[in-house]
Structure 1
């Protein structure tokens, strides 16, 4: 995902009405999801109409606590079946920590979807936006995180968990690294770098985890040979965190195993301004899911204080990802239009309380909508 230029205003026209709509799933989720997901859908529709782009048919599906209460399952079989027929969907945040005790220890609803559809690439941009106080005000990088194995025990086994206790006093964890998973995430990272500043940093810890993260590093370096126009280096995870704090603007694309990538994306999101504004997509070779990096924030749900920025930018990235693959090519412009409108809104001083602003969720969305319609 490149840093979007501000597109010029486009005159609406009616050609979109004659096109078959592109179907995209909608899963509202819990907490603030019921506020930010509908608002994001409306912004996409406004951008589509303003640009005369291919229309979207939204497919609403049961998910989260409401689905659990109605169907006894936060991700009902009917939802999984419907998602299998779609190439993209918007996933609202979920509050599985508040679900009944009998659901504890299971994969989270989002984790079940990621595993079901092998969404192996978690792509998390961290870009400082004008109008938001950032520790690293010139940061503009992307963390490309392997999403299916590594040291995450809930993802690295076909059955059961990679964590177990042979006795009450001993806990063990299995880390899984396969050549296939390392190679495909490296390809994603290098392909992305070719659209940006052509620099990939491979993250590892080979001084201690010589075989596991050593395999990850070595496979990534092998993939680098297939992309000679991209500069590549590698860093130990601990040294890298210090360098990101000191000079985060010097990095372009970071590729990391699951747990390292999760930690790094939280760090870079906060350095760029606020983790609560951090966008994210989860992708396979055929499907893509927009999911904000933050949670359901039940403490502010229904109070009009939620910041929709992360989800808006996640959906913008999803549309651009689709446009480069199975989706309508003109949805790249829709994604650019949404990103530019969000940036213009924040730069104008309109922000929610978490970034020091006074706007409510609806007021923020109304301003974004106005920028989408008017163009820049």
Structure 2
């Protein structure tokens, strides 16, 4: 039977609960569509770091290279600084496998209420450049007679900007919608005018796509007041990161927000992970919302060419969120992780 080898990294906290829950749903939909998901379980986490002094072993990237996709839970621990887990696991994976697009679909799912007082249904795709920009490892801290100085450089290359922007414009064309490019060229005098220049060049090859630039502060306000006016939004590494988290909050809960770190060429494995963190305050209690992780699984199936299976998972998600009895605590309900997971399996077409 045809299948895929998937690296499963539960990570820390609720990642150890929601990732197995999502595996259960994905295994069930795979059976319905006559393929197999083979899971390569990897214990890399902040707990691993405290024991081994690294977030993953020296051959970690080579081991991941043999897989078709990477399915990550949540990484983070109060005893380990965030920059350790980020630069020890997430960023090495993204860069080793040239995952230059971070895609965050944001929708107001059936039955869920936005954090906004009044909000129409919305369906937005946020495309974030994922390998350079403001998150470049260039800079340092220096001691001067007047005190310490910290310098953080931003690196924008034409190749890096163009390929992320092209993906976003192609996506806007596919969705039949419009595109907004996040900028701040009135304040960042070198990088953002360059980003705007490349945006205009890519736009010229997509004359059928309506687009506009919007300063990041105004765009942030638009997400908070009128997210239904947006369709595809593209931004640099930092801008896309911030917008993605704001949009997730507007959608009702971080517990339903997925993301995908993509190599659109398919040459390297892509990585799929929820937007939420490890939530150590509720870890081990069986109350974490598995929806975001399951939606990540749908994105993964779609990327692997299993579009029908991915659509079935999304149908199950929409069926479950529409039922008030199946809402976890982050959504104002009392359902458990197990309750929601079982309901998702039962709701698969």
TM-score by length of 2: 0.92
Candidates 342, 346, 361, aligned match of 2:337: 361
2:260 corresponds to 1:303: no
Cross-structure match for 1:107: 87
Gap change, CA 1:242 and 1:100, over 3 Å in 2: closer
Gap change, CA 1:121 and 1:345, over 3 Å in 2: same
The C-alpha deviation readout for 1:159-178, integer Å capped at 9, x for no partner, is xx434334343222211111
Contact 1:280 1:291 (8 Å CA) reproduced: yes
Q: Distance in 1 between matches of 2:79 and 2:343?
A: 33
RMSD (Å), alpha carbons:
2.0
Cross-structure match for 1:164: 141
Gap change, CA 1:22 and 1:251, over 3 Å in 2: same
Contact 2:46 2:85 (8 Å CA) reproduced: no
2:243 corresponds to 1:264: yes
Cross-structure match for 1:332: 307
2:339 corresponds to 1:351: no
Contact 2:141 2:148 (8 Å CA) reproduced: no
Gap change, CA 1:264 and 1:218, over 3 Å in 2: same
Cross-structure match for 1:243: 222
The C-alpha deviation readout for 1:184-229, integer Å capped at 9, x for no partner, is 1001111211221331111100111132011112111211111222
Cross-structure match for 1:44: 26
Question: Bigger shift: 250-259 or 58-67?
Answer: 58-67
* 3-state SS of 1:189 partner: helix
Cross-structure match for 1:151: 134
Cross-structure match for 1:77: 58
* 3-state SS of 1:203 partner: strand
What's the CA shift for 1:77? 2.6
2:220 corresponds to 1:207: no
TM-score by length of 1: 0.85
Cross-structure match for 1:65: 46
Candidates 6, 9, 26, aligned match of 2:8: 26
* 3-state SS of 2:304 partner: helix
Contact 1:61 1:79 (8 Å CA) reproduced: no
Contact 2:133 2:154 (8 Å CA) reproduced: yes
* 3-state SS of 2:293 partner: helix
What's the CA shift for 1:317? 1.0
Question: Bigger shift: 26-35 or 169-178?
Answer: 169-178
Contact 1:277 1:309 (8 Å CA) reproduced: yes
Q: Kindly indicate which of the two structures has a greater share of residues assigned to strand.
A: 2
Figure out how many residues of one structure are paired with residues of the other and give that number.
Answer: 340
